[in-house]
């Protein structure tokens, strides 16, 4: 019997990962369970010790622990070491290794969409954990120009201290045509109710060069990123697709079994039908 988990704050109980992974494991015949654990602030180190003591085979790491977990792991993958953020932990014996499957999952998403980033311009909104994974993979894929728009200078400075990119201000984006070929939302906001001023800026963007809009969130009502894409006739991808691709990579690390991303999407769609 395999035991997997998601470790986060209260968000662990709202995550769709337990349903998604449980259904996929059942479909492909893996005897295992996937459970959510709420970890109190400052206790991520003890949670990692619990992984060893309780023989938990693998864990997804949610906010706010993707960065604070780093000192409590024995080994980091090359990507996780560069990004300085972990969303997947694999236990081998007493050794815990951290990975960032969000990055590789985003790469798989772009490949599936047929979007080649080499020599192109990208604009990312948000400067925290999810944005780091996106910036890393865009540079890896030889994106010509990577711009990051964030509300907090401290977060931008932290991101750009280790990853290549260019900080831009929202007010500059809103007053001149955007030259990005791809827009990626890595912030937490996708609904006007969550950030009305931000939504107003996004809805007015001039994005004549844009060929793809990606929102890493999912399930947000009145999604203004989707509205922007549809109003300009641009393809749109919401967060379920990158989530499915990242989940595929995670399960492969945990079990050495490669399951197509479509299985994870079908598991999430089944959850929607039953809700």
Strands 212-215 and 236-237: parallel
**CA distances, 52 to each of 47, 58, 154 (Å):** 9, 10, 34
Tokens of 3: 């035991």
d(CA 70, CA 162): 15
Contact between 154 and 177 under an 8 Å Cβ cutoff? The reply is no
d(CA 273, CA 275): 6
Find the angle CA(43)-CA(247)-CA(42) to the nearest 5 degrees: 10
| Active-site pick, 66, 84, 97, 132 | 66
Question: Is residue 38 flagged as an active site residue?
Answer: no
Give the catalytic positions in this structure. 66
């Amino acid at each position: 019997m395999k035991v997997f988990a998601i470790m986060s704050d209260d968000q662990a109980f709202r995550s769709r990962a337990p349903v998604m992974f449980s259904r996929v494991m059942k479909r492909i015949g893996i005897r295992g369970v996937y459970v959510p654990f709420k970890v109190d602030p400052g206790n991520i180190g003890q949670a990692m010790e619990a992984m060893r003591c309780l023989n938990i085979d693998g864990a997804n790491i949610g906010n706010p622990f993707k960065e604070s977990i780093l000192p409590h792991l024995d080994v980091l993958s090359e990507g996780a070491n560069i990004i300085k953020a972990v969303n997947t932990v694999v236990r081998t014996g007493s050794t815990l290794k951290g990975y960032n499957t969000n990055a590789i999952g985003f790469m798989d998403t772009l490949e599936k969409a047929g979007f080649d980033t080499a020599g192109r311009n990208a604009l990312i909104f948000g400067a925290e954990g999810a944005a780091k994974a996106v910036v890393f993979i865009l540079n890896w894929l030889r994106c010509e120009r990577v711009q990051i728009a964030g509300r907090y200078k401290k977060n931008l400075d932290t991101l750009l201290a280790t990853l290549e990119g260019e900080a831009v201000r929202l007010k500059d984006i809103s007053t001149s045509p955007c030259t990005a070929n791809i827009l990626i939302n890595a912030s937490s906001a996708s609904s006007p109710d969550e950030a009305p001023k931000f939504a107003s800026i996004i809805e007015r963007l001039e994005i004549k060069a844009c060929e793809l809009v990606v929102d890493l969130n999912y399930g947000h009502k009145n999604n203004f990123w989707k509205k922007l894409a549809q109003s300009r006739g641009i393809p749109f991808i919401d967060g379920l697709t990158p989530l499915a691709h990242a989940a595929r990579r995670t399960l492969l690390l945990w079990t050495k079994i490669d399951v197509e991303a479509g299985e994870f999407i079908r598991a999430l769609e089944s959850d929607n039908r039953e809700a």
